[in-house]
Amino acid sequence: MKLLFLALALCAIVFTEDITKISKSQVPNEESVAKEETEWRLKAIQKLWNERRNMGHTPMAKFSPPGFPNADIFFKNETATTTRTLKHRFAWALLLWAITEGKVTSKTSGVYDSTSGNTGSAEAYMCTLVGVPYYAVVADNLEEEKVKQIESFGGKIIKVPVSQRNLQAKKHAAEKNGFFMNQFGNAEKAEEFHESGDFYFESTNVYHEIIVQLKKEKEQAVKIPDYFVHSAGTGGTISSVGRYIARYGAPTKVILSDSQYSLFYDYVIGHKFTNQSGAGIWTPPGIAGIGYGYDIEPVLYGQTTSLTRNVIHEAMRMPDIASVAAMRILDEKGYNVGPSTSLNFLVSLYKAYQKKAKQSPIKHRLTIVTLACDPGDFYRSTYLKDEWVEKSFKKFGGVEGMECWKKLIQESIDTGSDFVSKGLTMCPGSYKV
């Protein structure tokens, strides 16, 4: 007992001797961050805020399908940003968070991240803006258009097998004394979801921006959307919208639009794939930049995803070939958008059909808002090229299958019919329903 008391006393002595003391002649006061570093961080953050102000509010375009006379689908056009993608605002938020937290400094040798292209180009732009080298770890079969886009904004490319992207990005960052941004795990930390009130800096949440824009539209009777539809890559954007809606009690319901072989639908609805990967399930090519399943790790919140299940009200999955068909239709109608936007559109269209079929008692116009994520220009050599579609979607009839879905989707737009049930039975391919 005496030995124990003596040991505790010695520990107390060591502790009191170690602490920096206030002396009679001096109050301890030292800089924890060098003056030069403080100045660099301030200038870097000011540059980022100037970029955000210059971005302003991306425009919104209304699409009113003739077959659904009481419904409007709004596209918030994120292709109007400097890097032409939704990821412009996302990369801005990620880098702002990383600098604020001291994870990226003036001495950082480089920022590394795993990307399917769009986040890479936006991160390259933001890193170049503040003077930090950027390295995009991409799949070895990434579209050349996206590779050129990343390089045009100052980024450098590291190609690896698609399932190795996260692991290799982390490995390169560790070896080069850089920072692994990990957009999939850190999106939930970076994406902001607060209402700004009267504060000088407006909320950067995309849903906040949407309701501000709808409120200002004099001819727009519905100011709060019934549905917000979006897919998930990192899960950051849809989760930040969901958290905003939940926090402020907005009546908008959040729908996750998911691709055919992604794990996210089952992750949200059935809480699956938290301890197993999608190995053997994922079927390429998928829908570029969204979904989960090609990675060799399970869906781990805060590590491999930032998708918050509890703020998603509904999830809907569409066949990949149908999304390609929708992309062709939108392209013909003058909407220069990519495959993830087309998936968002399909889910929005089918939700309009469901409400019409159920004769749901909505007294106002059904209002659905989704995001135009990136331009079709990035996919001229893939999704918009018949030869590529024929080869990549051979299992679902290639171009013939695409044309089958295209006809049914256009019919739905014109007459309000059910394109999904018809497509699953009439178009080529085997579907699990």
Q: How many Å apart are CA 323 and CA 399, to the nearest integer?
A: 13
H helix intervals, 248-319? 264-270
The answer to whether the beta carbons of residues 165 and 114 sit under 8 Å apart is: yes
Q: Supply the pLDDT for residue 10.
A: 53
Cβ(227)–Cβ(370) below 8 Å:
no
Pick the CATH number of 87-186 from 3.30.565.10, 3.40.50.970, 3.30.559.10, 3.40.50.1100: 3.40.50.1100
Domain ranges of the chain: 53-80+200-419, 87-186
Which residues have CB under 8 Å from 198's CB, separation 6+?
Answer: none
Token pair recorded at residue 290: 């969204």
pLDDT score of 299: 95
DSSP secondary structure string, 329-385?
A: HHHHTT----HHHHHHHHHHHHHHHHHHHHT---SS-EEEEEEE-S-GGGGTTTTT-
| Angstrom distance (rounded) from CA 202 to CA 114 | 30
125: left (phi over 0), alpha (psi -120 to 50) or beta: alpha
Residuewise pLDDT in 10s, the chain (433 residues): 556 556 555 555 555 568 988 888 888 887 788 899 999 999 999 999 999 999 999 999 999 999 999 999 999 999 999 999 999 999 999 999 999 999 999 999 999 999 999 999 999 999 999 999 999 999 999 999 999 999 999 999 999 998 899 999 999 999 999 999 999 999 999 999 998 887 778 899 999 999 999 999 888 999 999 999 999 999 999 999 999 999 999 999 999 999 999 999 999 999 999 998 888 898 999 999 899 988 778 999 999 999 999 999 999 999 999 999 999 999 999 999 999 999 999 999 999 999 999 876 667 899 999 999 999 999 999 999 999 999 999 999 999 999 999 999 999 999 999 999 999 999 999 885 4
Q: Is residue 169 within 8 Å of 114, Cβ to Cβ?
A: yes
Burial class for 113, CB neighbours closer than 10 Å (0-12, 13-18, 19+): buried
pLDDT of res. 366: 96
pTM: 0.91
Would 53-80+200-419 and 87-186 be classified into the same CATH topology?
A: yes
The half-sphere exposure of 229 on its side-chain side, counting CA atoms within 13 A, is 28
The pLDDT assigned to 433 comes to 41
pLDDT at 48: 97
* Residue 9 confidence (pLDDT): 56
* 3.40.50.80, 3.40.50.1100, 3.30.420.40, 3.20.20.150: CATH of 53-80+200-419: 3.40.50.1100
Which amino acid makes up residue 288?
A
| Torsion sign (Cα): 354, 321, 158, 378 | negative
> Looking at residue 147, what is its pLDDT?
96
Q: Decide: helix, strand or coil at residue 320.
A: helix
Helix (H) or strand (E) holding 75: strand 71-77
Print burial letters for 117-127: b (CB count within 10 Å at least 16), e (below 16): bbbbbbbbbbb
* Residue corresponding to tokens 């171009």: 399
